Structure 1
Amino acid sequence: MKQWLNRLIGKPSVDWPYPFVEGKQFVLTITAGLEGYHVSVDGRHVTSFPYRTGYNLEDAMELSLKGDLDVESVVASYLPSSPPSFASQSYLEMSEQWKASPLPTEPVELFVGILSAASHFAERMAVRKSWMISTKKTPNVVARFFVALSGKNEINEELKKEAKYFGDIVIVPFMDNYDLVVLKTIAIVEYGVKVVPAKHIMKCDDDTFVRIESVLDQIKKVQSGKSMYVGNINYYHRPLRSGKWSVTYEEWPEEVYPPYANGPGYVISSDIAQYILSEFDNEALRLFKMEDVSMGMWVEKFSTTRQPVEYLHDVRFYQPGCFDGYFTAHYQSPQHMICLWRKLQAGSAQCCNVR
């Protein structure tokens, strides 16, 4: 464990004990994210497991636990037996206040692309009712969800209705798959270059809570006109060659990854975005299944072939979950999203441990 932790760059200190203690009760939460299952204990993220190839989350029928555990109670949420009705108030709040504002006619300071999955209705509503409100109050910031198609037609029909009503979803024309997440990132880049011209483009996930004003403050730290890459930067990370998240030598022959910002929240300047889009259009862009590593690879190539890039590293773009003073908090459930927003409105950037 220590050896793994030492590979993390710029992390805060980890001082809590291993969460499972004999004789002590704990709350274990399993959530379904973009790339797999995420496991938290008492509000702290512990580990993640990817979905198997070809797996559709909607096909899950049961959950089993093995081991010497005494289960006191089980609470399940967001597990419909069939796609919920779009007209249901408990499913989507049909309110004008959650609709997206019209796109500005002038370039903006920041465009935020949010990766989401077709079935993540609750996650998108939580984002709309929390930190996305900040983008409406700030005229130079625009945010949109980017969603690929589901393997189930009924899910896609509900997604299209949701997109038409709220006006904040960009549906990318391919089936959702972990290996294709990188194409969603390219779609975000294209939107931030061609549709909503932005000085800076941010990518995040639908389980990431974003403090928009704090992100804008970080951007302002970089001298105007300079190429920039902002986030929680990893240096000298090595590919895992075995296990669930393994990468083959055919996929990545190099021994280390280029410096890259953690995927749940990072920002690039518009010149880098334009370069990425140009390389993609010319079929010269190298694609890798891990989208955050891909971005690091593209930024590195831009820096060596075009002009130097200023890497702005800050651990407050936090990957493992949430800590007080965050800029972005990852692995946040819809319930936590609302809680974080309420705390932020009260003037406190503190984490939530909602049970």
Structure 2
Amino acid sequence: MHRDSADSKESKTTSWFKRFIGREQKPEVTWPFPFVEGRLFILTLRAGVDGYHISVGGRHVTSFPYRPGFTLGDATGLAIKGEVDIKSVYATSLPKSHPSFSPQRVLEMSEKWKARPISKSPIWLFIGILSATNHFAERMAVRKTWMQSSSIKSSNVAVRFFVALNPRKEVNAVLKKEADYFGDIVILPFMDRYELVVLKTIAICEFGVKNVSTAYIMKCDDDTFVRVETVLKEIDHVSRKKSLYMGNLNLLHRPLRNGKWAVTFEEWPESVYPPYANGPGYVVSSDIANFIVSQHNNRSLRLFKMEDVSMGMWVEQFNSTTPVQYSHSWKFCQYGCMEDYYTAHYQSPRQMICLWDKLSRGQAHCCNFR
């Protein structure tokens, strides 16, 4: 009986999702793990600020976050399991801080990289970028690349970084100087923790509602490269009369109950998450953002530690009274980059420059190196 009701619920949800996505089923995805039996390969494991990143042959193939509460100082060794013949291992020491902590090496204090004031006239899209205090190199790379898009330069699109505070006062001091000079950073009054990322997303919605007159709001990360003009074209394909939730949408994802990434029943009692767009890049219409801000101000907004799942929850709640157009595309890339991408994720500053150079020559091609 339990199985029958579960199947019925899944069938109902799948049918509902098909109507809004306009797609009979998800296309098959072949994950790009370039392993061939009997052939050598070079695997690189990089410990980043937010998690591990794995590349094979210089190409990014996957990433995963640290377990809650883990710090790099806790690492004591690396174990490799499975039928793999290891020819050689080369290890470098863990950095004592993020490699871009020396802002003088990456910040170019030039007038041409300063942000334009946000237009008082209505604009089409506001983009909020989640960033960390010491990600000076990442922000500089974004300023020098896709923030130079014609729609942003013409003030039809506005962009701001959203950054919470660092435990180290000297980092916050440098961040304040950067914000004062470039004029594109919103400093949030709380310490930067994974569990509080959802508050950054709410802050993006609140800024887009109260400080900008915009039709749509986009959220992305500071290692996401955005083809702004292409995203605008995708938005134009949707009727302006409809509420919109656009991105790389997940259907019937189940929470993990065991292991490092476990979600407890107290945190999430349901068997599946609502449809939600992957966090590196998604778009909502301003009426959805207004709803989120209003619910938050009334202390009735349900918060969850995964910000992208939270957005899916909020949109589902909004959709119960106002129909929402769910718009899905794999080209809002969750992992790395694909040809003709809309957004590319896990892009290093060097890759950002490379992508922008290719895009300026009319090529939406990837840059598969670190």
Normalised by the length of structure 2, the TM-score is: 0.85
Q: Report the alpha carbon displacement of residue 139 of structure 1 after superposing the two structures with TM.
A: 2.0
The equivalent of 1:298 in structure 2 is 314
2:159–2:184: 8 Å Cα contact kept in structure 1?
Answer: yes
Q: 1:300-350, CA deviations, whole angstroms, 9 ceiling, x for partnerless residues? A: 100103x10010111111101101110001111111111111111111001
Where do 1:1-355 residues align within 5 Å? 10=26, 13-14=29-30, 16-17=32-33, 19=35, 24-30=40-46, 32-33=48-49, 35-41=50-56, 42-50=58-66, 52-53=68-69, 55=71, 60=73, 65-67=78-80, 68=86, 70-71=88-89, 83-84=101-102, 86=103, 88=104, 90-134=105-149, 135-305=151-321, 307-354=322-369
**Structure 1 gap ranges (5+):** 1-8
Q: Distance in 2 between matches of 1:164 and 1:91?
A: 17
SS of residue in 2 equivalent to 1:156: helix
Q: Distance in 1 between matches of 2:224 and 2:165?
A: 21
Q: Distance in 1 between matches of 2:31 and 2:336?
A: 15
SS of residue in 1 equivalent to 2:121: coil
Q: Report the alpha carbon displacement of residue 73 of structure 1 after superposing the two structures with TM.
A: 7.5
Paired-residue identity, %: 55
1:10–1:315: 8 Å Cα contact kept in structure 2?
Answer: no
- What letter matches 1:217 in structure 2? K
- What letter matches 1:184 in structure 2? K
- What letter matches 2:53 in structure 1? H
Closer/same/farther in 2, CA of residues 79 and 335 from structure 1, 3 Å limit: farther
**Structure 2 gap ranges (5+):** 1-24, 81-85
- What letter matches 1:70 in structure 2? S
SS of residue in 2 equivalent to 1:132: helix
- What letter matches 1:144 in structure 2? R
Deviates more, 1:91-100 or 1:181-190: 91-100
Q: Distance in 1 between matches of 2:178 and 2:31?
A: 43
2:281–2:332: 8 Å Cα contact kept in structure 1?
Answer: yes
Q: Report the alpha carbon displacement of residue 76 of structure 1 after superposing the two structures with TM.
A: 8.4
Kindly name which structure, 1 or 2, has the bigger radius of gyration based on alpha carbons.
Answer: 2
1:211–1:328: 8 Å Cα contact kept in structure 2?
Answer: yes
Q: Distance in 2 between matches of 1:224 and 1:80?
A: 42
Kindly tell me the number of residue pairs found equivalent between the two proteins. 339
SS of residue in 2 equivalent to 1:318: coil
Q: Distance in 2 between matches of 1:265 and 1:82?
A: 23
2:118–2:155: 8 Å Cα contact kept in structure 1?
Answer: no
Q: Distance in 1 between matches of 2:211 and 2:28?
A: 38
Q: Distance in 1 between matches of 2:144 and 2:357?
A: 10
Q: Report the alpha carbon displacement of residue 155 of structure 1 after superposing the two structures with TM.
A: 1.1
2:53–2:60: 8 Å Cα contact kept in structure 1?
Answer: no
- What letter matches 1:137 in structure 2? K
- What letter matches 1:247 in structure 2? V
Q: Distance in 1 between matches of 2:352 and 2:45?
A: 15
Runs of 4+ displaced beyond 6 Å: 75-78
